[in-house]
Homo-oligomer: A and B are copies of this chain.
């Protein structure tokens, strides 16, 4: 009976924005440091690879300088090639970028016996072909051995995808999934449309959200609803395995196939610069105020939600009104996400998961907890091969 291997799983981290740095910090500290060995980091320009790193080789505080001083120019084939032959492999590649180019390579990377973990929604929420190729290249398809996990693509560290998977795989039937999936839009509507009082202009709230760092540099990227449509695509495609009304082919172009209400009025969508857009933001205020008043007269608040209705087969990102005593009105605060799963078993009341759905630390947690899933499975393989 051999003792369990203490071998660490090698990890490469591409993307060193806020989330990337938080991932790096988590991987290098206890308790994760005993299970993972960071061997490669990269930003959009350079990468650093140390097959057998010393403690000083990867340091959160000086990684940007180290890359500038000692990094090689980014070269994905060379980087992936190095990883695939790492002596302690198979390795995990973490894609913490917002790139389209790296997800396009996931099928190739997975076929090279490298596992992929990512908070990047692009590979799963765009064209059907790429999403399907990624799944086909990953376990448990016969003849393929690599895993791909993207828990943090929806709800950051909240257990949204794993819960949906558990519901489906144990034979529950999804009736409806409804939620506030965007931290930015959660904050904006929690401030704009309250149960009590609040007559602030929509443009004012957007400006405060931007100042607090809750929006993308161009707030139109949040207000377009595209991020919500991407998350809905990921959830709907997961449902397809057990839900005939939501076939995998339902959203051929992914998020672009999801009917999505934009909060950017037509007159502002065409602003050439974000500066012009921000200056003219108030032009949309009247319509939003009217909507808020209308809701208030019905005893409701306004929220921007994503809905997957398995009974009608409809997937939508839209503004919706909720009664003052609905959890989306009362229980939601700050920039929290909330997701309710209405199923055959969770009926008449849904299963609800709520909490921060954005932010570097919680998104990084979704990523590192996926890394743990890969690690446990790899160690089990080693454990089985050792003849236990």
Listed in ascending order, the chain A residues whose CB lies under 8 Å from chain B are 1-4, 26, 29-32, 140-143, 145, 157-159, 162-163, 166-172, 242, 325, 327, 330-331, 333-334, 336, 341, 345-346, 348-356, 361-362, 365, 368-369, 372, 377, 379-385, 388
Closest chain B CB from A276 CB (angstroms): 35
Q: Are A355 and B352 in contact (CB under 8 A)?
A: yes
Q: Are B142 and A1 in contact (CB under 8 A)?
A: yes
Residues of chain B lying within 8 A (CB to CB) of residue A325: 330
Q: Are A157 and B345 in contact (CB under 8 A)?
A: yes
Q: Are A26 and B354 in contact (CB under 8 A)?
A: no
Q: Are A361 and B345 in contact (CB under 8 A)?
A: yes
* A1, A31, A32, A380: residue with the most chain B Cβ atoms closer than 10 Å: A380
Q: Are A345 and B331 in contact (CB under 8 A)?
A: no
Q: Are A388 and B331 in contact (CB under 8 A)?
A: no
Residues of chain B lying within 8 A (CB to CB) of residue A163: 159
Q: Are B356 and A353 in contact (CB under 8 A)?
A: no
A380: contacting residue among B4, B365, B384, CB under 8 A: B384
Q: Are B1 and A170 in contact (CB under 8 A)?
A: no
Q: Are A171 and B32 in contact (CB under 8 A)?
A: yes
A323 to B216, CA, bound (A): 35
Residues of chain B lying within 8 A (CB to CB) of residue A356: 345-346, 349, 351
Residues of chain B lying within 8 A (CB to CB) of residue A351: 157-158, 353-356
Q: Are B346 and A355 in contact (CB under 8 A)?
A: yes
Closest chain B CB from A357 CB (angstroms): 10
Q: Are B169 and A31 in contact (CB under 8 A)?
A: yes
Task: List 10 A-B pairs, minimum CB-CB distance, nearest first.
Answer: A351-B355, A381-B384, A3-B142, A1-B143, A352-B354, A384-B384, A166-B369, A331-B331, A170-B368, A345-B361
A2 to B144, CA, bound (A): 10
Closest chain B CB from A96 CB (angstroms): 15
What is the total number of copies of this protein in its complex?
2
Residues of chain B lying within 8 A (CB to CB) of residue A1: 142-143
Q: Are A352 and B353 in contact (CB under 8 A)?
A: yes
A352: contacting residue among B32, B349, B352, B388, CB under 8 A: B352
Q: Are A372 and B157 in contact (CB under 8 A)?
A: no
Q: Are A3 and B349 in contact (CB under 8 A)?
A: no
Closest chain B CB from A84 CB (angstroms): 16
| Subset of 13 A-B contacts with CB under 8 Å | A31-B242, A157-B345, A166-B372, A170-B372, A331-B331, A334-B348, A346-B362, A377-B380, A381-B381, A381-B383, A381-B384, A382-B384, A384-B385
A333 to B30, CA, bound (A): 39
A124 to B365, CA, bound (A): 27
A380 to B169, CA, bound (A): 17
Contacts A159-B162, A170-B369, A331-B352 known; list 14 others, CB within 8 Å: A1-B143, A31-B168, A31-B169, A32-B171, A157-B351, A159-B163, A170-B365, A325-B330, A330-B331, A346-B356, A351-B353, A351-B355, A380-B380, A384-B385
Closest chain B CB from A140 CB (angstroms): 6
Nearest residue (CB) in B for A364 is: B170
Q: Quick one: given A345-B365, A365-B345, are A159 and B169 in contact (CB under 8 Å)?
A: no
A334 to B349, CA, bound (A): 8
A352 to B353, CA, bound (A): 6
A241 to B157, CA, bound (A): 20
A354 to B346, CA, bound (A): 11
A369: contacting residue among B169, B336, B368, CB under 8 A: B169
Nearest residue (CB) in B for A385 is: B384
Residues of chain B lying within 8 A (CB to CB) of residue A167: 365
Nearest residue (CB) in B for A379 is: B140
